[in-house]
Structure 1
Amino acid sequence: MGPIFGLAFAATLTACGPLNENNVANGVLDTVRTRFSGEPATPAPTAPVLTRAQVDANPGSFLVLNAYNGTMISAMAAGAQNGNRTTWLSASGPSVTTRNGILVATRGFPRDLMAADVTDVMRALVNGGGSATRTHDTLSDTDQIVTQTFTCTVSSKGRETISILGRQIATEHFDEACQSDRLGFTNSYWIDGSGTMVRTLQAVAPDSGYIQLDRP
C-alpha cells in the first residue's frame, strides 16, 4: 500500500482536529451492527501484532487487519503485485486486495467483495474531494455474484494526527459517503503528506461489515 497520490496531498492538508481512537470493543464491530447504515465507522487502535522493529526493518511490507470488534486481528504481508494492485495475506486465512490502498477485493469473509471499480474514487481523492461512482461485485446468499452501483461523495474532514504502533503520523482524513437504491456506507481514509494511505476503514459487504487496514 505505497504512495498513491504523491505530493499533491501535501498542499491539501487543512485545519487540525483530533482523531477519536476508541478502544477495540467500541470500534470496528459496531459498524457491522449498523449493516451499512451510512454512518462512518470508528477507528480502533492498531493491535500489537507486529513490533516497530519488524516494521522498520521491512518498510511497506505489512498491514494490520482489524475486523469483528477485534476478534479478527492479523498482520498481513504483501503477496502478489499486479500493477497498482497488491494482495495482502494473513496467517489466519483472509486476504484483501487493494488498489493504491483502496479495497477492491476480499477473500475469506462471510460475504466477500469479489471485485470493485474504484477509479472515480481515486480521482476524487486526488482532487481533494468530489463526486464518484463505484461498483461492487459481491456474493449473494446463493453464492451468485451481484453487482451494485453506488453514488458517492468524497470530502475532506481536515487534518488529523493518528498513532500507529507508537508512530505519530500527520494525515488528512477523507470520508466517502456512498448510497445505492438499497445500501449506504461511509468509507474513511487517512493519507499522509507523501500521499500514502496509512489507515482506512472500508465496507466489505453486508454480513461482513467494515474492516480497518493500518499501515504501521
Structure 2
Amino acid sequence: MGRLLAMTMKTVMKFPMLALASVLLLAGCGNGPDQGSMLKSLRTSALSKLKGDSAAAPQQLDVAAALKATDASMALISQKDRGGTQALVVQIEQNGPYRTYATASRQTLTLRQGLVTNTRGLGDDIMSSEVSGSLSLITARRAGTSNRVLHYLNGAKERVAVRYDCETYVTGSERVAQGVISANATELTENCVSSSHKFTNTYLVDGSGTILSSQQWISPMQGYYDIRLLRR
C-alpha cells in the first residue's frame, strides 16, 4: 500500500501498542477526562511488554485496547497483496456521508457507507471517484449493473479518469462479529471491467446499508484492501 504506509504498518506490527497510542491521538484528546491517562497507560503497557515479554506475539494488534481508549469510529485494514499486513485506522473527519480514516502517519482512506471513494498518501491514490451507481446497488443489497469512474494522477501529475462497467450479484449471507459490531449481513460480489483493468470486490452489508467488511480494489499499484469496520 505504498512505501510509506508499508513502513507505518511494519511499525504497527513490531510495536502494536505504541503505534496504537499514536493512532489514537489522531482522534483527539477530547473524548473525556480520562483520555490522557488512558493513552499514558497504553504507552506504559507497551514499554513493559517490549522490555519484559520477549515471547509476546508481535503481530497481535490489541483491538480491545484500541476500542477502549477512544469512542471514535475505527476500522482494521490490510493489504492482501503485501502479505496481509494490518493496521488500525481511526476516523479523523466527517463531511456529510463521507468519513475519513487515518493511520498514524496521516495516510487516509475516505469511505461512504464503507465504500472507498478516495485515498491519500498511499501511492497511486484514488484522487476522486464517481461511485453513486455502485453504491446504490451495494447499500440496497441488490443485483444490477452500474458504472464507476476512478480518477488517478499519471506520470505528468495530470488527472486521468478510468471508467469501469460493473455487475453486482447477491452471493450469500453471513453473521459479522468484529470489534463491537455484531450483525447479520448480505454478501455481494461486484465485477468491474475497464479497457485496461478488471477487479472483483466483495462486500458484507447490514440492514442499514453499511458495508461492515469488504475486499476493495484501490489501484494497479495498491491492489486489494481488506477493510473491517470495528466501530461505526
* TM-score, with length taken from structure 2: 0.65
The match for 2:221 among 203, 207, 211 is 207
Task: Give the secondary structure class of the aligned counterpart of 2:195.
Answer: coil
Q: CA RMSD in A?
A: 2.3
Q: Give, in whole Å, the separation in 2 of the partners of 1:174 and 1:100.
A: 14
Q: Give, in whole Å, the separation in 1 of the partners of 2:226 and 2:141.
A: 24
Indicate yes or no: 2:133 matched with 1:117.
Answer: no
1 or 2, which has the higher helix percentage?
Answer: 2
Residue of structure 2 in register with 1:79 after alignment: 92
Task: Give the secondary structure class of the aligned counterpart of 1:128.
Answer: coil
Please list every run of at least 4 consecutive aligned residues from structure 1 whose deviation after the TM superposition is greater than 3 angstroms: 56-60, 165-169
Question: Larger C-alpha radius of gyration, 1 or 2?
Answer: 2
Between 1 and 2, higher relative CO (CA 8 Å, sep ≥ 6) is seen in 1
Q: Give, in whole Å, the separation in 1 of the partners of 2:141 and 2:186.
A: 13
CA pair 100-142 structure 1, distance change in 2 beyond 3 A? same
Stretch of structure 1 that moved more, 104-113 or 187-196: 187-196
Residue of structure 2 in register with 1:97 after alignment: 110
Deviations 1:8-44 (A, max 9, x none): xxxxxxxxxxxxxxxxxxxxxxxxxxxxxxxxxxxxx
Q: Give, in whole Å, the separation in 1 of the partners of 2:189 and 2:132.
A: 16
Q: Offset of 1:144 from its aligned partner?
A: 2.3
Q: Give, in whole Å, the separation in 1 of the partners of 2:110 and 2:163.
A: 19
Q: Give, in whole Å, the separation in 1 of the partners of 2:93 and 2:180.
A: 28
1 or 2, which has the higher strand percentage?
Answer: 1
Q: Offset of 1:61 from its aligned partner?
A: 1.0
Deviations 1:103-139 (A, max 9, x none): 0001122211111111001222216121111000012
Deviations 1:154-210 (A, max 9, x none): 111111234435966431111111011111111111112343211111111111111
* TM-score, with length taken from structure 1: 0.70
Q: Is the 8 A contact 1:74 1:92 kept in 2?
A: no
Q: Is the 8 A contact 1:105 1:116 kept in 2?
A: yes
Residue of structure 1 in register with 2:149 after alignment: 135
Residue of structure 1 in register with 2:78 after alignment: 66
Total equivalences in the alignment = 169
Residue of structure 1 in register with 2:61 after alignment: 49
Unaligned 5+ segments in structure 2 are 1-58
The match for 1:150 among 151, 158, 164 is 164
